Amino acid sequence: MNQMQDTGPLLSVRNLAVQFNTVDGIVHAVNGISFDLFRGETLGVVGESGSGKSVSMLSLVRLVPEPPGEVTDGSALFRGTHETVDLLKLSWREMAAVRGRRIGFVFQDPLSSLNPLISVGKQIREVLERHNRARGKAAKRRSIELLALVGIPDPEKRYYSYPHEFSGGMRQRVMIAIAIACDPEVIIADEPTTALDVTIQAQIVDLLVRLKRELGISVIWISHDLGVVAGIADRVLVMYGGTAVETGTAETVYQHPRHPYTVGLLGAVPKLHEHNERLVNIEGRPPSVYSRLEQCPFAPRCPWAFERCTQQRPPLLPTGRDEGHSSACWYDLELNERRPGRST
């Protein structure tokens, strides 16, 4: 791991901002987030709906429809095996060569992401042929191998099946086969198990963890389910109101959350192994997305908020607990005091 880190992160995103220009006004979906993804690690991105977690990750590969979407700021350096590119500056043609080959995707709803009129085998083949990985018989053979690799029984026969002939869990396996077809360096998994039952979810999580280990892929796992992320993520990025509010290793963020939102969110999740009488109520609602964010997005709901929180947006500040753990809060929950510094 350390040796890997010497070469720097595989993907480093700085100050990414995405907005949507709608008839009702400008929706500020992502307000300047920064994070790194290292080789072979899983980054869990958690947040409620509307927190900007999907938009921020999908905008990196321009899967956010433009217009109305628009990346207004930021950079995303992707250090590939050969050269380093800024994903946000690539042309459409260059981006098309990255998508599917170097960055794979798994989406929430496999039924709408797969083409119902084409057999799943052909859909896997399509990716291989599109990126010149294999053609003809070789492509078919490779597709069948991929189906077997993701645990689809009887892959030779299933190669000819159509998406509707598969169950939800099996369809998600097909999606994963497509995602890994060209040996990508990164997989972006956008709520891959949200539509599945828990026992099937366990199967899919198990599969992705195994593939990640065997193939050395880095994974960005977007989820609202803190439990799922706890099981797979090496590091966690907590998002709220289009900003990153806390980031660090999974152990640190879950055991020693230092942002009030993370604290509240963890308290709001019932734990299977303990019976707390009342769950934490985070009063109020997420902030409006129509106004530009000048203050801490969580300030109106935060029991610790003071004047500075409404005047100045806190950047991600190191908590000092361990390397890489930082929280965007003017209040130091560890010392139970306000962080030094003047409000402007």
Q: Where are the beta strands (DSSP E) in the chain?
A: 11-22, 25-37, 42-46, 69-79, 84-86, 103-106, 186-190, 218-223, 235-240, 243-249, 317-318, 326-327, 331-332, 337-338
Q: Least distance from C-beta 98 to another protein, angstroms?
A: 31
Judged on CB neighbours under 10 Å (0-12, 13-18, 19+), 299 is buried
- Of residues 222 and 265, the one with the C-beta less far from another protein: 265
Q: Least distance from C-beta 240 to another protein, angstroms?
A: 10
Q: Least distance from C-beta 72 to another protein, angstroms?
A: 26
- Of residues 115 and 167, the one with the C-beta less far from another protein: 167
State the SS3 of 221-286. EEECCHHHHHHHCCEEEEEECCEEEEEEEHHHHHHCCCCHHHHHHHHHCCCCCCCCCCCCCCCCCC
CB 331 within 8 A of CB 261: no
H helix or E strand, kind and range, residue 148: helix 136-149
Q: Least distance from C-beta 318 to another protein, angstroms?
A: 17
- Of residues 118 and 268, the one with the C-beta less far from another protein: 268
> Site residues (CB under 8 A) for another protein?
48-49, 167, 169-170, 197-203, 205-206, 224-231, 233, 250-251, 254-257, 263-276, 278-283, 285, 303-304, 333-334, 336
Rounded to whole angstroms, the Cα distance separating 134 from 128 reads 6
Q: Least distance from C-beta 304 to another protein, angstroms?
A: 7
Q: Whose CA is closest to 258, among 312, 311, 330?
A: 330
β-strands 235-240, 243-249 pairing = antiparallel
Q: Least distance from C-beta 50 to another protein, angstroms?
A: 9
- Of residues 13 and 46, the one with the C-beta less far from another protein: 46
- Of residues 162 and 254, the one with the C-beta less far from another protein: 254
Residues 6 or more apart whose CB falls under 8 angstroms from that of 296 comprise 302, 305, 309, 310, 312, 313, 314, 328, 329, 330
Rounded to whole angstroms, the Cα distance separating 118 from 295 reads 49
The residues pairing with 42 across neighbouring beta strands, listed in sequence order, are 219
- Of residues 14 and 224, the one with the C-beta less far from another protein: 224
- Of residues 284 and 315, the one with the C-beta less far from another protein: 284
Rounded to whole angstroms, the Cα distance separating 203 from 189 reads 15
- Of residues 201 and 247, the one with the C-beta less far from another protein: 201
Q: Least distance from C-beta 260 to another protein, angstroms?
A: 8
Q: Least distance from C-beta 142 to another protein, angstroms?
A: 26
